[in-house]
Amino acid sequence: MGIAFVPTAMSMGRLIEELNRLPGIGPKSAQRLAYFLLRAPGEQVKALAEAIINIKEKIIFCSICQNITETDPCLICRSRERDQTKICVVEEPLDILALERTRSYHGLYHVLHGVLSPLEGIGPEKLKIKQLLDRLRGGTVQEIILATNSNLEGEATALYLHRLISLLGIKVTRLARGLPYGSDLEYADEVTLTRALEGRQEI
């Protein structure tokens, strides 16, 4: 009987190990999730597995704004109702969801997929900065809104971008200080984000 349980134990151990690799999931949380999945109905587990596989097979980066999408260009970049003269620069795709919830911004976006962090070996070449600068050479964009997070890395990235973009003669603004220092954009409420957008200041 003991031998029969070895494959199951190994499978459970592997699942716990993989779940532990996820951000914000410690060893205890990984164990709880693994045992929850073990007890869950087969259909629920299969649906979760299919959803995970689908994002790897179907999700791509928009060739224009670098947001995640299933169609290229993405719906925002294709929309003729968006203000083509403004681009809001964010760190991650989740930040776009937060800003869209405010319904107060109607321009375009650009996702950097990170921030400058020399200690972690993340320099400008590892971010989508070149793609942003390529977009600005068309002459249509009149304002860049820097919406990186209000922390050390976010501020450093904003200053770096400002130096590059100001050389092109394009107006550069930063979200107002309604956002607490050290907070992430994706966790801010709609009212705070709306006020930060409306009160943005030129750098």
Query: In tens digits, what is the pLDDT along the chain, a chain of 203 residues?
Result: 433 434 446 899 999 999 999 999 999 999 999 999 999 999 999 999 999 999 999 999 999 999 999 999 999 999 999 999 999 999 999 999 999 998 999 999 999 999 999 999 999 999 999 999 999 988 899 999 999 988 889 999 999 999 999 999 999 999 866 555 556 676 666 766 776 677 676 77
User: How far apart are alpha carbons 20 and 201 in whole angstroms?
Assistant: 41
Please state, in angstroms and as integers, the Cα–Cα distance from residue 118 to each residue in 102, 127, 156, 182, 201, following that order.
33, 12, 11, 18, 27
The whole-number pLDDT of residue 162 equals 96
- Position 181 scores a pLDDT of 53
Closest CA to 156 of 198, 124, 189: 124
- The topology (CATH level 3) of 2-58 is Helicase, Ruva Protein; domain 3 (1.10.8)
Enumerate the domain spans of the chain: 2-58, 62-202
pLDDT at 2: 39
**CA-angle at 94, arms to 193 and 114, nearest 5°:** 105
Report residue 118: phi and psi, to 5°. -55, -35
**Rg of the chain on CA atoms, in Å:** 21
CA dist., res. 111 & res. 120, Å (int): 19
Q: What secondary structure letter does DSSP report for 83? A: E
**Is residue 106 a contact partner of residue 90, using CB atoms and an 8 Å limit?**
no
Q: What is the pLDDT of residue 159?
A: 95
User: Which H/E stretch holds residue 84?
Assistant: strand 83-90
Q: Are domains 2-58 and 62-202 of this chain identical in fold? A: no
Indicate the CATH number for domain 62-202: 3.40.1360.10
At 7 the pLDDT is 44
pLDDT of residue 4: 40
